[in-house]
Structure 1
């Protein structure tokens, strides 16, 4: 069993494409929003840090050097580490285009004439010598203990007017994550509503295809079916109009053919009647009987041909028919056996269905001897099988025998032959009811004719 990746229906495939496109577009939008949000938060944090650093520079430059340590200690927070020393923690500007450059430009507007260095790169390694370490830790070399903290951070060094440096580190945090339960519930709710609306729209858009399929199936059983309503979008109206034009042409073709055959039949009956009258004057009884029999066969062929051309099965009104009683009664009349339920009712054309079953049973009796009819029901299908004990039919001839006037029995004897329309009429009637007839050879010998008819759902 092969696993189907795509749904089998147009509705399912269209819905799958729409939902996939919706989820993909929403995912891309969320990723873009998350990235822009992170950049916006970082820019806002850098702007706030720049303004705070500018205020701190002004404060330190107006404060005596011996009091600067206490001032910085009071202003030092976990989210804003400040130190004052003789060396900068930022050796040079290393972010010419990013957040560091934006912070440097903002600081330059508030601190004109000051050397400003900004970087988001990791700080340099601490001095290795003990003497240098002592120099960093006393008085004006105080770094605040933050210069070597690892992690993403904005590092700012500003040269004061006395050539000392204010060093500031602001950790770069993305802020509170947007993937909160409330946000996810809202997101899933919106996604569900949009998906539902898309599925509804797709179902509504695909509805005309189901209408076309039903109309095409109805046309196969009734060319006089009512036309499709020409409404909806322009493409649907155009397709419905083309379908109605095609149906009208087919109906006119069938009607013209029927009228032509009816006219031919009417014209042929007149000379046949004259020939029948003349045959009565033939003195030889044997010849007279043969002539009358030939004339009767001609009349029978004309009547059968006209009935086949009229396609009465499609014109007959449908009403409940007890198929079990019909098949059993015909089997009894023709000397066949019956196996099946006592009652099985289907909506059908009574005369067409009776002619259909009579043709099948009569053919089996003529060519196959013993005949058995079996009626069964499986799900939404009713099946009638007609088995005989005859020689069967070559598989290559299974379809050809349904063509009009085709007979595999070549004698044209009225006792064993006929007009060659029996199976053609039977299949036409079966298909007019939405079913079909198939042939197969039985392994034990003989031919099996299988008639399937749909059973409408209640």
Structure 2
């Protein structure tokens, strides 16, 4: 299941890796931004709390004890609670992190005073801290008046609530400063991490940026992987036409090097084929002279039966040389492509063979136009039909459109061919003696020439034995 989700193309896999990397990097960036944002907000909140505490210390020491509690409570907010009592609310002093930073700020304005700071949750301390009392008359006796601590009912902001010395307050910045008269100013400032970042004004630009970067990256990947498709096209074209024009040498350095190597290989193959053709043409030309001399000498043989056999052998030699030269030249690859009515061509071949007494039939459309090399294609189909008649007794030709182009089938009623010989029978000069006799003639090049011509069109030939008997030859051809 996992393998099915992974694209099988270089473009798809590169795009998948790229998109995954973009998403992971975006997720890491958002996570890092969130952490740093929280740290920044916490630091800003701690500095603001420290500055306010410095001002509150000054106000508390300048205010008479009987009015100090009321004055301090008037300076509270829902996010900043103040208490005044005989004990500090901080039980575990801290010196690192946020507590250390706030201490540094406070000590600049409150030199010489005892300062306790903590970021851990803990009890409010009851009336002794001025933060956790639950009723009137608690605090510092005459100095507290009738004011209750921050934990009393109706306390501002609802952060105190009913409770007492055992009440656990949520995580907050706790600051306790000892005043000149020995009392303690206690402050609770809950951590404020701000609103969530997952809001439209943050999410929408992020998604838009991801989409734009992904689109641009995919276009870049598509352009970068395009040479692979060009290589595939060039390789397929080379398999059909060895004389095809070379690829354009452009693009990145590695692509140019690969193109140069491909063009060099194509040139070497073309020269090899040309040299082979020239060699076979020279051999064929040189053999014609002695064959002609032998033909002339055979005419002087008085024994008519011997003379006939010699002339027949010489004709067979000339036919083999001509077939070999035609196969070596690969005339199918040099002939230009034209619009050809394949149905009309096949019907004409079948009618010609019927006129010669062969058992042939045709079934298919009356017209079917494709792009092809007429002479090469006609020679290939003729060879296949001749083989069917010679070795199978008949040729039933069927033509029909297919998904990729057209399909031509030729059925005969012969003994068929062993499946192990399906590929070997296409090799040049191979004749299967089990089903073929030298009395039928031929050089063993018919199927080789036919497959070379069909493959030069971008198609192929396959063989199969029919269940009811006989051989079926299937020719697949593209329309273009």
Q: TM-score w.r.t. structure 2 length? A: 0.91
Match of 1:20 in 2: 20
Match of 2:451 in 1: 427
In the TM superposition, what is the alpha-carbon distance from 1:402 to its structure 2 partner?
0.4
Q: Do structure 1's residue 292 and structure 2's residue 311 form an aligned pair?
A: yes
Listed as ranges, the matches of 1:345-360 within 5 Å are 345-360=369-384
In the TM superposition, what is the alpha-carbon distance from 1:151 to its structure 2 partner?
2.2
Match of 2:30 in 1: 30
Q: Do structure 1's residue 99 and structure 2's residue 98 form an aligned pair?
A: yes
Deviation by residue 1:192-249 (Cα, 9 ceiling, x = unmatched): 1000000000000011111111100000011111011111110000000000000000
Match of 1:236 among 251, 255, 268: 255
Q: Cα 1:42–1:372, aligned 2, differ >3 Å: closer, same or farther?
A: same
Q: Do structure 1's residue 173 and structure 2's residue 192 form an aligned pair?
A: yes
Q: What is the distance in 2 between the residues matched to 1:279 and 1:372?
A: 42
Contact 1:272 1:295 in 2 (8 A): yes
Contact 1:409 1:417 in 2 (8 A): no
Match of 2:412 in 1: 388
Moved more, 125-134 or 333-342: 125-134
Q: Do structure 1's residue 322 and structure 2's residue 341 form an aligned pair?
A: yes
Match of 1:364 in 2: 388
Deviation by residue 1:251-295 (Cα, 9 ceiling, x = unmatched): 000000000000000000000000111111111111111111111
Q: Do structure 1's residue 82 and structure 2's residue 64 form an aligned pair?
A: no
Q: What is the distance in 2 between the residues matched to 1:2 and 1:104?
A: 55
Deviation by residue 1:102-156 (Cα, 9 ceiling, x = unmatched): 1122111211111111112122265599999864485546533366573221111
Deviation by residue 1:137-184 (Cα, 9 ceiling, x = unmatched): 855465333665732211111000111000111111111222111211
Moved more, 328-337 or 433-442: 328-337
Contact 2:133 2:149 in 1 (8 A): no
Matched residue SS, 1:321: strand
Matched residue SS, 1:53: helix
Gaps of at least 5 residues in structure 2 are 152-158, 161-166, 355-359
Listed as ranges, the matches of 1:4-403 within 5 Å are 4-93=4-93, 95-124=94-123, 126=125, 135-136=138-139, 140=143, 143-145=149-151, 148=167, 150-335=169-354, 336-403=360-427
Contact 1:122 1:151 in 2 (8 A): yes
In the TM superposition, what is the alpha-carbon distance from 1:334 to its structure 2 partner?
2.0
In the TM superposition, what is the alpha-carbon distance from 1:96 to its structure 2 partner?
3.0
Contact 2:127 2:149 in 1 (8 A): no
Q: What is the distance in 2 between the residues matched to 1:385 and 1:330?
A: 14
Contact 2:80 2:188 in 1 (8 A): yes
Matched residue SS, 2:67: helix
Q: Cα 1:415–1:351, aligned 2, differ >3 Å: closer, same or farther?
A: farther
Contact 1:156 1:167 in 2 (8 A): yes
Number of residue-to-residue matches in the alignment:
455
Matched residue SS, 1:166: strand
Contact 1:121 1:152 in 2 (8 A): yes
Q: Which stretches of structure 1, 4 residues or longer, exceed 6 Å deviation after superposition?
A: 128-133
Q: What is the distance in 2 between the residues matched to 1:88 and 1:180?
A: 40
Q: What is the distance in 2 between the residues matched to 1:42 and 1:413?
A: 99
Contact 1:375 1:383 in 2 (8 A): yes
Q: TM-score w.r.t. structure 1 length? A: 0.95
Matched residue SS, 1:334: helix
Q: What is the distance in 2 between the residues matched to 1:250 and 1:189?
A: 52
Match of 2:428 among 370, 394, 404: 404
Q: Cα 1:106–1:411, aligned 2, differ >3 Å: closer, same or farther?
A: closer
Q: What is the distance in 2 between the residues matched to 1:131 and 1:274?
A: 135
In the TM superposition, what is the alpha-carbon distance from 1:455 to its structure 2 partner?
2.1
Moved more, 16-25 or 77-86: 77-86
Q: What is the distance in 2 between the residues matched to 1:296 and 1:374?
A: 34
Contact 1:411 1:417 in 2 (8 A): no
Matched residue SS, 2:123: coil
Q: Cα 1:2–1:154, aligned 2, differ >3 Å: closer, same or farther?
A: closer
Root mean square deviation of aligned Cα: 2.1
Contact 1:86 1:140 in 2 (8 A): no
In the TM superposition, what is the alpha-carbon distance from 1:60 to its structure 2 partner?
1.1
Gaps of at least 5 residues in structure 1 are none
Contact 2:116 2:177 in 1 (8 A): yes
Contact 1:84 1:140 in 2 (8 A): no
Matched residue SS, 2:401: strand
Contact 1:84 1:144 in 2 (8 A): no
In the TM superposition, what is the alpha-carbon distance from 1:70 to its structure 2 partner?
2.2
In the TM superposition, what is the alpha-carbon distance from 1:190 to its structure 2 partner?
0.6
